[in-house]
C-alpha cells in the first residue's frame, strides 16, 4: 500500500499533467512544465532548456527568477557542464551541491546561488527534447529518491505535452499556408480579369491624351468604372470567404493564430488570452474574427500602438471580444480618418448582423478599446 506522501505525489503529478494538457503553444507548455515541477518538488528554482543544433538553446524557460534577475544574468547558457551531461547522456543528475561537481563551470555574477540540484532529461523515445532541472529544495533534506521518481514521471508526461504542442504549431503553420494559397486562388479568379482590363484601358487613355483628348476622357471614365467593379468584386471575395481556420479549428484557435502572425510581423507586442469559451454559431464566430481583424489592423497600422491585447471570454451562452491598444487614440464622435470611419462602420455592421453589439472607447493619446458581444445560440 502506498504511503500518504506517495499518494500526494501522484495527485500532484496528475494536477500538473492536467495543467500541461490545457495549453497548445510550445512556449506555454514549457512554462507550465517548469512551474509544475518547481511546485511539485518544493524547489526554489526550476528551468527547462530546449537545445538547438549549435551548442546553445532554442528556448530556455525559468521559474523562481524575476524578470529583472533574468535580464541581469545575461545571455542564455551554452550546452556545457551538467546541462550537457543531461542532454548528451540522457541520464538524471542528483547532486547535494552542484558547485562541488567537477563538471561545474561557474555562472554569471547575477546568477542566484544554488546548492542541491536535480536534473532530468525530457525524452521522446531516443530523442532528447530538453533538460528539466531544479535547485534548492525547500527543507533540510535536499532532493531524495521520491523527488527523482516524481520528476521522472513528470518529464515523461512533459515529453508528450511538448510533442503535441509542436505538432499543433506545425499544423497551424500548414493551415496558414493552405489559407494563403486558397485566398490567392480566389482573388485571382475573381479580380484578375478586371485588373487586366483596367490596365489596358489606362494604357489606351495615356496614348490618346495628346492626339484625341475627348476619347482619352472616355477611356478614363471607363477606368473609373472598371476600378469600382474590381473593388466590389474584391470586397465580395473577402466578405463571402469564411476562413478555413474557423471550420477546422474553431474561433479560439483562429484568433490565436491571427495574433501570432501579427506579433511576428510587427514590432508591437500582440497578445491573445481566452477563458471559459464554448463554441458559437458559425455566423457569430466569423463576425467575431472579422471584427478582431479590423480592430487589429486599425491598432497596428493607424494608431501606432506598441502593445495590443486580444481577449476572448465566454459570457452566458455567448462571448465577448475585447481588443485593447495603447495607440494614439481618437474621438469616436469626431472621426477624422475616413479609413478608420469605414472600419468602425464595418465592425458595427458585422456585430449587428450577428445579433450582437459593439462599443468603442477611445480618447486622443489614451489608446482604444473595441468590445464586441454576441449572444451565442
What is the value of pTM for the model shown?
0.50
What's the confidence (pLDDT) of residue 188? 61
The number of residues making up the chain comes to 377
Residue 18 pLDDT exceeds 80: no
Beta bridge partners of 135: 45, 117
> Per-residue pLDDT averaged across 66-70, rounded?
86
What would the grid cell of residue 317 be?
451562452
Residue 108 pLDDT exceeds 60: yes
Residue 321 pLDDT exceeds 90: yes
What is the pLDDT confidence band of residue 178, given thresholds at 50, 70 and 90?
Answer: low
Number of other CB atoms surrounding residue 80 within 10 Å: 12
How many angstroms separate the CA atoms of 283 and 278, rounded?
A: 15
Q: How far is the CA of 283 from the CAs of 61, 162, 242, in angstroms?
A: 39, 34, 9
What's the confidence (pLDDT) of residue 346? 81
Q: How far is the CA of 168 from the CAs of 163, 173, 246, in angstroms?
A: 9, 9, 15
How many angstroms separate the CA atoms of 60 and 130, rounded?
A: 9
Q: Are 35 and 45 in contact (CB under 8 A)?
A: no
Q: Which phi and psi angles does 13 have, rounded to 5°?
A: -60, -40
What's the confidence (pLDDT) of residue 184? 64
- pLDDT tens readout for residues 272-304: 998 877 888 888 998 999 899 889 988 987 888
- pLDDT tens readout for residues 143-176: 999 889 888 988 888 888 888 877 777 776 676 6
Amino acid at each position: 500500500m502506498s504511503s500518504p506522501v506517495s499518494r500526494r505525489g501522484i495527485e500532484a503529478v496528475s494536477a500538473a499533467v492536467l495543467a500541461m494538457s490545457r495549453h497548445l503553444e510550445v512556449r506555454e507548455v514549457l512554462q507550465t512544465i517548469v512551474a509544475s515541477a518547481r511546485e511539485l518538488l518544493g524547489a526554489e528554482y526550476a528551468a527547462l532548456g530546449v537545445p538547438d543544433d549549435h551548442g546553445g538553446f532554442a528556448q530556455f524557460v525559468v521559474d523562481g527568477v524575476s524578470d529583472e534577475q533574468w535580464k541581469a544574468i545575461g545571455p542564455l547558457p551554452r550546452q556545457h557542464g551538467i546541462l550537457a551531461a543531461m542532454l548528451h547522456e540522457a541520464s538524471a543528475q542528483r547532486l547535494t551541491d552542484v558547485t562541488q561537481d567537477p563538471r561545474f563551470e561557474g555562472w554569471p555574477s547575477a546568477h542566484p546561488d544554488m546548492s542541491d540540484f536535480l536534473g532530468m532529461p525530457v525524452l521522446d523515445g531516443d530523442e532528447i527534447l530538453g533538460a528539466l532541472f531544479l535547485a534548492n529544495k525547500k527543507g533540510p533534506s535536499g532532493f531524495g529518491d521520491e523527488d527523482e521518481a516524481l520528476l521522472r514521471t513528470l518529464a515523461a508526461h512533459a515529453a508528450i505535452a511538448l510533442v503535441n504542442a509542436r505538432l499543433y504549431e506545425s499544423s497551424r503553420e500548414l493551415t496558414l499556408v493552405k489559407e494563403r494559397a486558397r485566398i490567392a486562388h480566389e482573388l485571382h479568379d475573381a479580380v484578375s480579369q478586371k485588373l487586366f482590363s483596367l490596365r489596358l484601358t489606362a494604357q489606351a487613355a495615356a496614348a490618346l491624351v495628346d492626339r484625341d483628348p475627348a476619347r482619352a476622357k472616355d477611356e478614363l471614365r471607363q477606368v473609373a468604372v472598371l476600378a469600382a467593379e474590381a473593388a466590389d468584386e474584391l470586397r465580395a471575395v473577402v466578405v463571402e470567404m469564411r476562413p478555413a481556420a474557423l471550420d477546422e479549428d474553431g474561433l479560439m484557435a483562429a484568433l490565436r493564430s491571427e495574433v501570432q502572425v501579427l506579433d511576428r510581423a510587427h514590432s508591437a507586442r500582440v497578445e491573445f488570452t481566452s477563458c471559459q469559451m464554448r463554441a458559437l454559431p458559425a455566423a457569430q464566430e466569423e463576425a467575431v474574427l472579422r471584427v478582431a481583424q479590423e480592430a487589429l489592423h486599425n491598432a497596428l497600422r493607424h494608431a501606432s500602438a506598441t502593445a495590443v491585447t486580444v481577449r476572448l471570454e465566454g459570457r452566458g451562452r455567448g462571448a465577448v471580444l475585447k481588443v485593447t491598444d495603447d495607440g494614439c487614440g481618437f474621438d469616436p464622435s469626431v472621426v477624422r480618418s475616413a479609413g478608420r470611419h469605414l472600419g468602425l462602420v464595418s465592425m458595427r455592421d458585422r456585430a449587428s448582423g450577428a445579433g450582437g453589439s459593439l462599443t468603442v472607447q477611445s480618447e486622443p493619446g489614451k489608446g482604444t478599446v473595441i468590445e464586441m458581444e454576441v449572444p451565442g445560440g
